[in-house]
Amino acid sequence: MAQNKEPQASADAILDKLDAFLRTKQLKLTSQRRQIVEKMLEMPRHFTADDLVDSFVGQRPRVSKATVYRTLSLLSEGEILEQHDFGEGHRLFELALGRSHHDHLCCTKCGKIIEFFSEEMENLQDKIAHKLGFHPTSHSQKIYGTCRECWREAKRD
């Protein structure tokens, strides 16, 4: 088990993968799609579609909200992004390309998200799924609670 500190994929690596994916569907790698990929790299680990839309305000050429949403869908479908729902009423996106799979701890006090990976957990999940006749393709695991810092703060009161 380890926290994940790997660097993210480069713009080039992402554009290559996106281009390859788009080709398989006879779609095009446009200027807007490139710009969105660039912006993605400047986003925090988890970001919303709206965060990305906002990053284009007052910029020329700008990219519209509709295009951002449409592109985020494509990026997810092409397995470049991953989508999460931490129960806040909106989706969060996370760059998946070049990073290995992991799960999340979510602090309900400060909103911090801690990533973790456990081989043991992965094996156990597979074992359980198979025992129930299920063929797993992916999973989402979130542990909610209080992080170290918020816990300390709570005890202080």
Partner DNA sequence: CTGAATGCAAAGTATTTGCAGGTCT
Partner DNA sequence: AGACCTGCAAATACTTTGCATTCAG
- Residues in contact with DNA by CB under 7 A are 22, 26-33, 48-50, 61-67, 69-71, 73, 89-91
Which of DNA, its own copies, none does residue 123 bind (CB under 5 to 8 Å by kind)?
none
Least distance (Å) between residue 49 CB and its own copies = 13
Q: What distance in Å separates the CA atoms of residue 90 and residue 83, rounded to the nearest whole number?
A: 10
The residues of the shown chain that bind its own copies, judged by CB under 8 A, are 1, 3, 83, 85, 87, 105, 107-108, 114, 116, 118, 120-121, 124-125, 128-129, 131-148, 151
Residue 19 or 115: the one with the smaller Cβ distance to its own copies is 115
- Minimum Å distance from CB 112 to its own copies? 10
The span from the CA of 147 to the CA of 49, in Å, is 26
Per the CB < 8 A criterion, the answer to whether 143 and 104 are in contact is yes
- Give the orientation angle of helix 65-77 with respect to helix 11-24, to 10 degrees: 80
77: how many CB neighbours lie within 10 A of its CB?
A: 11
Residue 143: contacted member of DNA, its own copies, none (CB under 5 to 8 Å, by partner type): its own copies
Tokens of 104: 């999340």
Q: How far is the CB of 93 from DNA (least distance, A)?
A: 9
Nearer to DNA, 26 or 137 (CB): 26
Q: What angle do CA 119, 122, 127 make, to 5 degrees?
A: 125
Whether 120 and 128 have beta carbons less than 8 Å apart is answered as no
Minimal distance in Å, beta carbon 146 to DNA? 23
